Amino acid sequence: MVSHDKRLHCVLDWRYMGDLGMSGFKGTPGPWKYAKNGPHWNNAALERISIEFGIYGENIADTVYEENDARLIAAAPDLLEACERARSHLYQAGYEPKENSLNPNEDLLFQLDATISNAIGE
């Protein structure tokens, strides 16, 4: 159970998750983007799509085969940020996570906690 003080701290600075026992995302900072790089070097019938970051287009993933997959991967930092913010708002509103709760906010908070933990490897 999270104390009121920790919930308030989380809302005041939702990017800092240490008080909730979470280390936060430690990977490559966003924004990420996807780039079409022409035919795949091993199969010209496939288009090579990469996930890149930074002003020099450094690679996070050098080959993604489906454009829809590439868009989803490139959106990952923004999606994680949105999940963290939504979770903070629900905690601040006084909700507690409960799986399969009849209260949709409690069930959503449970899903957000699980999704964020999965994304940051906890």
pLDDT digits (tens, 9 = 90+) for 2-58: 444 434 333 333 333 333 433 477 888 889 999 999 998 888 888 989 999 988 889
- Res 97: pLDDT: 97
- DSSP sequence for 41-94: SS-TTSEEEEEEETTTTEEEEEEES-HHHHHHHHTHHHHHHHHHHHHHHHHHTT
Count of H-run helices and E-run strands, the chain:
4, 3
**Mean pLDDT, residues 59-76:** 92
Residues 6+ apart with CB under 8 A from 108: 86, 90
Range of the domain at 67: 4-120
The closest alpha carbon to 49, from 31, 32, 35, belongs to 35
What is the reported pTM? Answer: 0.73
How many domains does the structure of the chain reveal? 1
Q: What is the pLDDT of residue 67?
A: 93
When pLDDT is averaged across residues 60-88 and rounded to a whole number, the result is 93
49: tokens are 């799509």
pLDDT, tens only, 81-95: 999 999 999 999 999
